[in-house]
Every structure is written in C-alpha cells, then in structure tokens.
Structure 1
C-alpha cells in the first residue's frame, strides 16, 4: 500500500487492483530479487550522500569509504532466529556530521507521516494480541519455530530439485523457501504479518535479503534449474491480468533492467551478476554444501540426516489448504498432546488458491525413544491440527472443507561427510487424513 502506479507501471484490465508481488506463485523468488536490489541501490545512494557530509576532522575518508562499500545486510533467521539487536533499540546515539546525535532508530519501526484512513500510526512487531511492539514476545515466537525454520531450509536445499519446488507454496512438494519466509512474517506479527504494510518496516528488507541469499545458494547448486520451469495462470495482480500465462520469460513488473526499457524476468533475475552483488558463500562454490550442512544440517531433529549409518526414516505432516476457506492471516499448527511440532503460516494475500507445506515431526518422534514399533499408528493417534490467528486465538475449523492433512514418511540415506547432502529415497503418504475435526479446535 498504497496501491498506485510505480515506474510508470499501472493497473491493467483483469488485474486484482491489489499489489505487484506474486505471493503464492512460482515467480515469488524471482520478483523479489530486483525489488531488494532496487532498495539497496536507493539506500546506498542515501548512505553515500550522508557520508559526504562529514568533514575532515571527523575522519571523513572512513565514512566515504564505508558509503562506497555499503551493501544491504541480511538476517539469517534460520541460523539465528532472534531479532537482530540493531532492530530492537528504540533510540540510538550516533556520530552525526555535526557531532553526537540521539535519535529514534529507523531500524526499530517506521512512523507514517500524516493520517490515512485505516492506516496505523507506525509499524509494529508483536504477536500476543496485547502489545504493539514487544521484542521479547517476538523473540519468544521465533524461538518456538527455530527448529522448524532450520529443518525446512535444510529440506529445501536437500529435497527441492526444481526452481518451482524451491520457490513457492504453490508447488505440491511443500518444501519451498516461501513457506519458511511466511513463518517468519507471522512470528514477528504486528504489521509485519500484513503484506499491505510489512515493507515499511526496515526488518522486511533484512528478511528478504536472506530469502534472496538462500535462493542464490540453491541456484548455485542447481545451475541448470535456476529459473521457473512450469507455466501457470496468474490469479491476477495489480499489473497482471487474471489468467495470463506466467513463465520464466514473464515480466517481474514494475522492475526494469538497466536499459530502462525491458522488464526484468525470471530469466534475467536468475543470476546475481546483472545486479552487481554476491553473498559470502558464493565466493567458493565447492564450500557451499559444507557451509549449508554447518549452518542448517545439524538440527538434532532430522532423523535421516546424521552422519554415516544405514537408511533412516523421516516423518512429517503434509498440508494442502485452499486459502479462500480461511480468515487470513493465520497459522495452521501441528501439535501432539501439549507439544508444538510446527506450523504452516499463511499471509493475508493472496486470498485464494492452494498452498502446500510440510511440517517436521522429529520432536514428536524423539519422544518415542528407540521404540519405533507401530510408529505410524502412534503418530496418527497423537497428531492433530489447530488453526489460529497470528495472535494465537483459536479459529473454529469445522467449516474448513478444503484442509487436507496427511502423515508422510520418507526413507533417507544419511550423508557420509560434510560435502554431501542426505539422499531421499522412497516416499510413503498415508492417505487417511490425520485431521480430527472433533478434537482439533481444543486449545
């Protein structure tokens, strides 16, 4: 918001009238790359402008040098699922061009100028339904999904074989980076859980820089699959008509290439080279897998991802839901007794279409110890789902007709060394749903 033309790109007949961003679509990752790059370019120009205002007595050359090498930082919420400390300080003291200066931190929140009907006065982060901004609440929410975030990111790297699987919750595999991205939005909560307002929060770009980084690492390991491979019909966006065929060659409106005439596409956004930046792990392609194993591979939850040993079995829940059946945004939590296993997070847009996600059951399986006899029956009995608002309030699911929850097992050959990923083998989906509508709406 506001829904308005940008870069000379306006609404089209048959469009949704809402935003440009293709959430819940295969184009999701590709679209955000020029978006993040444009933000970095504009912010970098402001950094250089401010750096130039320091005089020689203030070590101006150091500020100018810092301005020249400035790059947008990323927040690796899968490896460190806590708010960056720089984003939790309401006021900060800095060395300004005219001396020490105390000001409200732009990384803490954003205050809207003027008043607009239906808009808040400032961005917020909290998911307890009681406070507008509370870093402790947000960090507690992130800690609750920490193991799942690490697991899901690792599964994206080790399981996704196509760009479409890696990118979007629209893909049936349910292993997308978008699914993890959604969990972070809802865990932070407040206006961060609203796609209308979240980009006003500086944390948004730190979040999306990491999404871009993870996608870049995946693409480096899949050089022949670095862009969308399957076409789909657009559900309709601000500048894209409903039913338009979307392929890797489709424009990522409203972002132009350097010639200022041609839109970026999934193909032009597949490489970082046109954008002039990189990530540390890409400096040594041969070390990407060891680094991914180091950061995300030793969760203690992945039953199939230990070193050495024979084939193991990884258990998870697969969820497919039609967004139009739900009050969005919301979370679909998977629980076992009093134990929270993980969640599927759905944002407030898009309002319709199928979404897919997989939820790890390693914490639940770990409670069984070495006795895994009859594990399928045990998990069927224990596992249930709860649909909740972002603030934790329970939603009655008795009228949600297109919510399908399945128990799935997959055989895994563990990696033998740090330079390998585990290998997934045969997959068993137990077609009887584990959803128990008679119990699932209990706290």
Structure 2
C-alpha cells in the first residue's frame, strides 16, 4: 500500500501511521500532468510568476507547503524531516541507513556529487509537495475542483532566478498571504500564514529529542542590528555580480566536474550558490549548513541551481558525460576516504529498486519536470542547445555598450544597471564579430586553514570586486572560484589603461579581506594556501542571439596578496 500511495499521490499524506512512514519512500519523480501521448512535461516555474499570477497553482503551493510544515515532526514526510536531511538533526532519514561517516548531514558540498545529490533531494521534496497539493485540490468546490486538480497535477517546485533578479522573492516577505480556499462549499479569498516567510522549529527538536539541534524558535532573516529583510538582503545580493558569474560559468565550464562543484575548478554554479546562502538572509539560519534547509528560501534557491545545471547540460550535450572519481572528506553516510564515483549511492535517496546514484540523475529528463525552454519531447539536442543559448543570452548575457553607463566596455559590463528584465537588452546583431578583453580573479584556497564559514572579499582600490563564499562544510579540501572584474574597472579609475597595463594594475591593486560571521577578520598569514591570479581573456562576441561568446587562451598574473587597509572606505555593506 505504501509504495502505491507514494507513486500516485498520498491521498492521506499528512496522517500516515508511523509504522508505515518508517518504510523507504522511493524517489521516482512526479508522474502527474505529463501528456502520455506526446510526453510534454510540466515546467518548474519562476516563483515571482506564480506569485503575480495568483492562480490555482499559487493557492495550492501555499496550501501544500503549509501542510508539509504542519505535519508531525516524527513523520519522515514532514517538512522537518525532509529539510533536516540537508544538515541537522544528524540522524538517518527513512531508508537512508545508519550514520557511519562524517558528523555533518547527508549533503555533499565542495564535492562533485553536489549537483546530482541536490537533484535527487528536489525530486523527493517535489513528490511530497505535489501529493499534498493533489490532496488539497480534491477538497475544492465542485465548480472549480477540476481546475484545481489539473493545477495540482502540473504543480512543480518553483525557482528563484537570483542571477536574473538578485532581489529576494516578494512572496517570501509578508507574514500572511491571501489565497482562495474552500469555505462552506464556496471559494473564498482568505489570509493565511505565509509558509514562504519562515518555519517554526518543533519544540521537540529544540529540546534535543532528535539529537543535537542548532535551530531556535523559528528561521530568521536579517535580524542583526542595522539590518532588515528584504532591504539589507537585496542590497547585499545586488553587489555579488551573480548574473556575470552565472553567464561566465555556463560558457567556460568544460565538464560536469567543473560546472557542478567548487572542488572541480573555478567555473562552477556551486560558487555563486554559496553567495546566495551568505547574503539572501544576511547570514542567519540560511548561512549555516546545519539549518539552511529549513528556510523556505532553500528549495527556491536550489531549484534554480538545478535549472542552471540543466542549461549547461543542454549547451554541452555532446560532452556532458558524468565520469569522476575522488575520495570524500566524509559525509553522514560515507566515511572519510571513501572513493566516490558516478555509481556511488546518493544517500538517503532510494528508487523502487534500491539506492539511486548520479547516473540516475545524469539528466533532468525522466524525472517529471522540465525548465523553459527545454522541450525534450519534441526537440533534438541541437535544437535544445539553440533554445538555451538564446535564453541565457536574454537573461544573463551582455548589454549593448551604448546602454552601459559609466563602465568600460565588454560583455560583462553591468555598472549602473538594475537587474530587471525590461532593462537588460542583448547586443545588436552584427555582421562582423568584435573582440573584447575580459578580466577575472581566479581564487584557490585550502578550507582547513579557515574557521568556516567565511568569506573572502576582493577589492580593487577600495571598491568591492566580489566575494568568494565558503560554507561550513566540508572543513577541508581545496575550493576554487572565479570573480569577474569587468564591472569594477571604471569605479577603480582604470578604464583608460590599455590591456597590458590594466592587467598589471588589477594585479597590483587587488586587496583581500577574509571575514567570519562574527565580523572578525582572519589574518592572511593564517591562510598560506590562498592564491589569487588575475586573468585576461580575449573574448569574441557573438554575432546573434543564437550564439555564445568564444573565450580565447587566458593570460594570468599571480597577485601578491595584500590585506585591505582599514583606512580605505568601503563602498559595500556585508552581513559579515
């Protein structure tokens, strides 16, 4: 009975007996809403679009998430237990086996498993969310029941596209929201507690009944003195250069290892992902691996990470194979030194036939969802690549030089332009491609030399150039990241220099400040592994929206690291 219900919707999900809920919950992907004749699959949608639309999918999303959060914390399908898989409490989730590895949670950070593990995590969460929505839809008045049942079938986890718009989703701000619910056989618009605004930790967890637990009261955002949500979060997020970083990573990453993990190279999606954890809630619960999963921002954030990885896979369909081998530094279900490959089980996620691995999640196709414009059912891989190329050019790509205010030219110039879709326009199509020189700071550091979590802030002549975010786990291993420097050239007074002199100036004038969450600094001499190279690359701009820039061979210079002088006035605020 349990397996049947888990596949078709859990009509009584919130009240599953404990003896049944202790069984393994197979992750199979949501099967509803898919056209059985064509294969057309519902897309995961932008949370801002759902919120503004305020239709049946929005009503059901709020209702389903509220039901998950209200479920008893002993139920493995409750919000508490599912989101606790990521970090604390450090206990085996249903079917996930006993702890025999590291002291942290199941989640692999700074490991190649990062992308596929979170893809499995999203699929589990999505199944439970949709099952709750389907149960709720069945209770709507007869006059609208079919409409709500169809909306429930096509509902998927929404994403927050923090690269296109770094402002936190407006839907996560108010403490109450209005949705349409059945009342006495009719449909009424009523205010309800907003489950996207936060989550109240169970008293039993705070009392230690599940083991060590750091959450207190409820999830918090921007509670430090002088900060507020969303204003402080939006200010910090706007200064992270996320659009540029995502665009560069999608184009420059050469293989799955590099795009999916900061352990694989500087052009990963995991790198900017860390910045979102640091700044989207001004630190607080969303920063710490132990508690970040409980903030409702988490799944909105990680759905976008999965979306960007799916885009990279579409762009690189001809060489996007998943082959890797390394030794883990220790996870909840994998002791330190365990050899990890694409066939390593992604604990605690099981399918109907046993543990799932990275090969099972090599593509988002087949898991019951897609992202616009990916249409696997009626497009060839080359067509998907063209569609994604146009999409990422429109969302994250260059602006015309004439519209770039006060900045040196180049495909990544962004100074003075707010992150709104109606402001960003692609370059004008041209007959002859042009070449620009772009500049990047390539960062490498051994995590064990830092008191994690920490951030490495880069400045050029006192102007903030970018942040490398290092979350709390793993506590050892080398991390790589890349910071585009194009947007800092004009503010730093370097716009009139030629390419060679500019490379020298960026190298000589780059400064570092490493900070911990309590606001204290980590001396550079304590981090001898930290290396920063400034790289210049000639980039051939595309001649149409269906093409991507071509990056040439980079030229780099090693930075002699200098700590940021206290006498320099900072033009940016940080949560720490």
Given the two structures, how large is their TM-score scaled by the length of structure 1? Answer: 0.92
SS of equivalent to 1:232 = strand
Query: Match for residue 62 of structure 1?
Result: 147
Moved more, 24-33 or 244-253: 244-253
Q: Give the secondary-structure state (helix, strand or coil) at the position aligned to 2:178.
A: strand
Q: In the TM superposition, what is the alpha-carbon distance from 1:387 to its structure 2 partner?
A: 1.0
- 8 Å CA contact retained: 1:162, 1:229: no
The Cα of 1:176 is off from its aligned counterpart by 0.1
Report what 2:542 is aligned to.
415
Q: Measure how far apart 1:364 and its partner are.
A: 2.5
Aligned partners of 1:386 and 1:441 also within 8 Å: no
CA spacing shift, 1:282–1:62, aligned 2, 3 Å: same
Partner residue in 2 for 1:91: 176
1:436 aligns with 2:562: yes
In the TM superposition, 1:292-331 aligns within 5 A as 292-298=392-398, 303=410, 308-331=432-455
Residues 203/437 of structure 1: CA separation in 2 closer, same or farther (3 Å cut): closer
Alignment partner, residue 96 of structure 2: 9
> Does the Cα contact within 8 Å between 1:398 and 1:437 map onto a contact in 2?
no
Q: How has the CA–CA distance of structure 1 residues 228 and 125 changed in structure 2, closer, same or farther, with 3 Å as cutoff? A: farther
> Are 2:513 and 2:564, in contact at CA under 8 Å, matched by a contact in 1?
no
What SS does structure 1 have at the residue aligned with 2:538?
A: strand
Change (3 A) 1:395 1:312: same
SS of the residue corresponding to residue 332 of structure 2 reads: coil
Give RMSD over aligned pairs: 2.3
Question: Which residue pairs with 1:231 in the alignment?
Answer: 325
Task: Quote how far apart the aligned CAs of 1:391 are.
Answer: 6.8
The correspondence for 1:369, drawn from 482, 492, 495, is 495
Distance 1:390 1:303, change over 3 A: farther
The C-alpha deviation readout for 1:172-212, integer Å capped at 9, x for no partner, is 3x010000111111011211111111111221101111111
Closer, same or farther: CA 149–251 of 1 in aligned 2, 3 Å: same
- Alpha carbons 1:175, 1:358 under 8 Å: kept: yes
Q: What residue is the counterpart of 1:122 in the other structure? A: 218
Kept in 2, the 8 Å contact 1:182–1:347? The answer is: yes
Cα distance per residue 1:331-352 (max 9 Å; x no partner): 1111122311111111111111
Deviations 1:91-117 (A, max 9, x none): 123222224433321000001121336
Question: Equivalent residue for 1:287?
Answer: 387
8 Å CA contact 1:111–1:122 kept in 2: the answer is: yes
Deviation at 1:424, TM superposition (A): 1.3
Separation (CA, whole Å) in 1 of partners of 2:508 and 2:304 = 38
Runs of 4+ more than 6 Å apart: 440-443
Going from structure 1 to structure 2, the CA distance change for 1:123 and 1:293 (only over 3 Å counts) comes to same
Q: Is the 8 A contact 1:3 1:19 kept in 2?
A: yes
Asked if 1 retains the 8 angstrom alpha-carbon contact of 2:511 and 2:564, the reply is no
Q: Report what 1:154 is aligned to.
A: 247
- Higher alpha-carbon Rg: 2
User: How many Å separate the matches in 2 of 1:24 and 1:111?
Assistant: 29
Q: 1:53 Cα shift?
A: 1.7
Q: Distance in 1 between matches of 2:91 and 2:392?
A: 40
Q: What secondary structure is seen at the aligned counterpart in 2 of 1:246? A: strand
Give the length in aligned residue pairs: 434
Give 1:182's aligned residue: 274
> What is the match of residue 402 of structure 1?
529
Higher mean C-alpha displacement, 345-354 vs 265-274: 265-274
Alignment partners' CA distance in 2, 1:320 and 1:108:
36
Q: TM-score if structure 2 supplies the norm length?
A: 0.71
Query: CA offsets, 1:114-133, max 9 Å, x none?
Result: 1336421111122x732786
| Shift of residue 232, structure 1, vs aligned partner | 0.7
> Any idea what SS the aligned residue of 2:469 has?
strand
1:396 Cα shift?
3.3
Deviations 1:390-440 (A, max 9, x none): 475544333222211222222222222211111111111213x23114848
Give distance in 1, aligned partners of 2:445 and 2:97.
Answer: 31
Contact 1:235–1:242 (CA under 8 A) maintained in structure 2: yes
SS of the aligned residue for 1:408 comes to strand
Q: Distance in 2 between matches of 1:390 and 1:290?
A: 39
Range with greater deviation from structure 2 (308-317 or 202-211): 308-317
In structure 2, the partner of 1:28 is 114
Contact 1:320 1:355 in 2 (8 A): yes
Tell me whether 1:217 sits opposite 2:314 in the alignment: no
Aligned residue number for residue 426 of structure 1: 553
1:221-260 paired onto structure 2 within 5 Å: 221-257=315-351, 259=352
Confirm or deny: 8 A CA contact 2:459 2:564 kept in the other structure. Answer: no
Residue 77 of structure 1 is aligned with which of 148, 151, 162? 162
5+ residue gaps, structure 1, are none
Task: State the distance in 1 between where 2:540 and 2:180 align.
Answer: 54
- In the alignment, is the contact (CA less than 8 A) between 1:315 and 1:361 conserved in 2? yes
Task: Summarize deviations over 1:135-163 as a string: whole Å, max 9, x none.
Answer: 11111111111xx2111111111111101
C-alpha distance in 2 between matches for 1:20 and 1:226: 25
Q: Does 1:104 align with 2:193?
A: yes
Return 5+ residue gaps in structure 2 as ranges: 1-87, 209-213, 376-382, 413-426, 571-576
1:135 matches 2:221:
no
Q: Secondary structure at the match of 2:390?
A: helix
Alpha-carbon offset, residue 377 of structure 1: 2.5
**Distance apart, 1:64 and its partner CA:** 2.0
In 1, Cα distance between the equivalents of 2:261 and 2:207? 33
